């Protein structure tokens, strides 16, 4: 990997760094970013980042504490060495960048984990960004994304693709193309911000209350890739079609919603655990209440339902789905950023 630590170069004795890394919404192409598909045909995902974040704070741990490493996330770990860290991503990030104890890491997210918004990859990107900053290094979004992919896919063996890491690192509305061999190209949205605002005005994010690790769905989806290659090819094509639609001076958001619906119907067939009877029931009630189209965010099984409808239909949708919690989201144009860097 690039930018390994130079032996003999000093780390700060004190200091604190905080990063802010956005979560993402994938509109089309999810699943074609898995190596089982893109290594043969190439994949593509059209996605956006939103104004919900993972915050990572990194600092030297105080000398009076007994433990050498403390990490606070949904759990709290106090351990004697980096190798003893149970959080896989935190452990491998610290190993990769060779930041030695004593060290303190705190992680806070605006939304629950395992909710289909790329939170684990946002954490990896945000922690790597903080660690590089702590080491006095400037890194590109591409390097952050590739290092996060290296950790999650190669070192930890997660059955995931590359879209989440790239979305978290680059931010904004993008078409990500995944090439055989692993190269990724990023095509950012070049149209007016007013069009993106119009899209977000028609979006609804409803929390199902169910959390599911993506790996439980993706192991099956990966194994069944050959039998669903035609469906995945269509999902890849949808990513390009949505990119072209958004490039129009006056996008047809009805067509956007219809394509979300088509993609959801295809995605439902990729693995047996993508959806449930309850999720399908909620989706049907939302369509009857005025939703043009939508999908379940992430690999499936729980998390957030994303709907597209005209603004005047939102009240009817919420009335039809009283068990679901509405979460307002806005567009985020930036990827992972350093909010604070005080180094001695």
Domain coordinates in residue numbering, the chain: 15-190+332-343, 193-330
Q: What is the mean pLDDT of the chain?
A: 91
26, 162 Cβ separation under 8 angstroms: no
Which one has a higher pLDDT value, 20 or 2?
A: 20
Q: Is residue 242 over pLDDT 60? A: yes
pLDDT tens by residue, 94-107: 999 998 889 999 99
What is the C-alpha R_g of the chain?
20
Provide the pLDDT for residue 217.
Answer: 63
**CA-CA distances (angstroms) from residue 286 to 26, 73, 79, 208, 231?**
20, 34, 47, 13, 24
Provide the pLDDT for residue 143.
Answer: 98
**Domain 193-330 part of CATH 3.30.70.890:** yes
Q: Is residue 164 over pLDDT 80? A: yes
CATH class of 15-190+332-343: alpha beta
Q: Is residue 9 over pLDDT 50? A: no
Q: How many residues does the chain have?
A: 344
> To the nearest whole percent, how much of the chain has pLDDT over 70?
92
- CA-to-CA distance for 216 and 323, rounded, in angstroms? 25
212, 300 Cβ separation under 8 angstroms: yes
Confidence of residue 183 (pLDDT cuts 50, 70, 90): very high
- CA-to-CA distance for 283 and 253, rounded, in angstroms? 19
- CA-to-CA distance for 220 and 273, rounded, in angstroms? 9
Confidence of residue 11 (pLDDT cuts 50, 70, 90): low
Q: Name the range with the highest mean pLDDT among 54-63, 237-246, 259-268.
A: 237-246
Count of other CB atoms within 10 angstroms of residue 100? 12
Q: Where are the alpha helices (DSSP H) in 118-192?
A: 119-134, 141-149, 163-170
Provide the pLDDT for residue 27.
Answer: 97
- CA-to-CA distance for 147 and 120, rounded, in angstroms? 14
**Mean pLDDT, residues 173-191 taken together:** 96
């Amino acid at each position: 990997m690039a930018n390994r630590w130079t032996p003999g170069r000093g780390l700060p004795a004190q200091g604190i760094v905080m990063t802010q890394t956005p979560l993402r919404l994938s509109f089309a192409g999810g699943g074609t970013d898995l190596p089982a598909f893109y290594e043969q045909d190439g994949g593509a995902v059209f996605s956006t980042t939103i104004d919900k974040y993972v915050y990572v704070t990194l600092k030297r741990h105080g000398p009076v504490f007994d433990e050498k490493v403390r990490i606070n996330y949904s759990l709290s770990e106090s351990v004697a060495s980096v190798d003893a860290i149970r959080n896989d991503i935190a452990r491998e990030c610290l190993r990769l960048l060779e930041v030695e104890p004593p060290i303190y890491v705190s992680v806070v997210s605006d939304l629950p984990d395992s909710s289909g918004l790329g939170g684990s990859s946002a954490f990896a990107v945000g922690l790597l960004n903080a660690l590089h900053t702590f080491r006095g290094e400037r890194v590109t979004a591409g390097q952050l994304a590739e290092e996060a992919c290296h950790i999650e896919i190669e070192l930890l063996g997660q059955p995931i693709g590359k879209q989440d890491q790239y979305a978290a690192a680059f931010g904004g509305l993008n078409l990500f193309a995944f090439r055989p061999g692993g190269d990724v190209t990023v095509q950012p949205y070049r149209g007016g911000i007013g069009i993106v605002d119009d899209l977000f005005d028609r979006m609804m994010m409803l929390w199902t209350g169910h959390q599911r690790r993506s790996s439980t769905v993706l192991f099956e989806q990966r194994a069944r890739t050959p039998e669903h290659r035609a469906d995945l090819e269509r999902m890849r094509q949808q990513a390009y079609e949505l990119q072209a639609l958004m490039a129009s001076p006056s996008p047809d958001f009805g067509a956007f919603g219809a394509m979300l619906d088509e993609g959801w119907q295809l995605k439902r067939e990729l693995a047996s655990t993508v959806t449930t009877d309850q999720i399908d029931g909620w989706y049907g009630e939302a369509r009857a209440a005025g939703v043009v189209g939508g999908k379940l965010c992430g690999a499936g099984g729980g998390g957030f339902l994303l709907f597209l409808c005209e603004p005047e239909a939102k009240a009817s949708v919420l009335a039809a789905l009283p068990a679901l919690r509405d979460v307002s989201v806005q567009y985020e144009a930036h990827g992972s950023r350093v909010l604070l860097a005080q180094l001695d």
